[in-house]
Chain A
Amino acid sequence: MSEFEKTDPSKFLSDIIGSSVIVKLQNGINYTGNLQTIDGYMNVVLDNAKECSNGKVVRDYGDVFIRGNNVLYISEA
């Protein structure tokens, strides 16, 4: 986001739909990809997803659905 503005988390999440994101899970694994959709449980769908652990790409997925309870954070890449 270009300027700092008072906003809420769900606005952030709807704003970043379609952009490239990093999703970190509680087990320490990172997923990068384009955010297709997200819901209130933080269930996430990424396309063109890459699984990274310890800074290395471990695996490529086409589309991937991540169950929300595993999500630690979602950040704009």
Chain B
Amino acid sequence: MSTKEEPLDLIRFHLDEFVLIKLRGAREIKGKLQGYDSHCNMVLSEAEEYIYNDSNDDVETKKTEMVFVRGDSVILISPI
């Protein structure tokens, strides 16, 4: 039982690598994962935020060098 994999392991394996986070409010962030906890609170560096507006064709992009993301906004995390 002690070697059983759990979902948060996937995130652990991608520390110091770039991940894509899908967030509530039609937002996504790509960034290098520097830290996380069991609530999916995260710190990303070299991050880029994408905000999708109602008309899907215009996307607002914001760059940020170091950002803490609160876990309750997170929908999914995927390595890129």
Q: Which residues of A does B touch, CB under 8 Å? A: 25, 27, 31, 36-39, 43-45, 49, 61-67, 69-70
Contacts and interface: CB of A to CB of B under 8 A. Distances in A.
Nearest to A61: B78
Contacts, number: 50
A50 to B, nearest CB: 12
A1 B5 CA distance: 23
Contact of B75 (A37, A38, A70): A70
Nearest to A68: B7
The 8 closest A-B pairs by CB, nearest first: A43-B7, A65-B77, A64-B78, A61-B78, A45-B7, A45-B10, A66-B76, A37-B5
Interface of B: 5-11, 24, 40, 71-72, 74-79
30 contacts: A25-B75, A27-B24, A27-B75, A36-B5, A36-B10, A37-B5, A37-B6, A37-B9, A37-B10, A38-B7, A39-B6, A39-B7, A39-B8, A43-B7, A43-B8, A45-B7, A45-B10, A62-B78, A62-B79, A63-B10, A64-B76, A64-B77, A65-B8, A65-B10, A65-B76, A65-B78, A67-B71, A67-B74, A69-B72, A70-B75
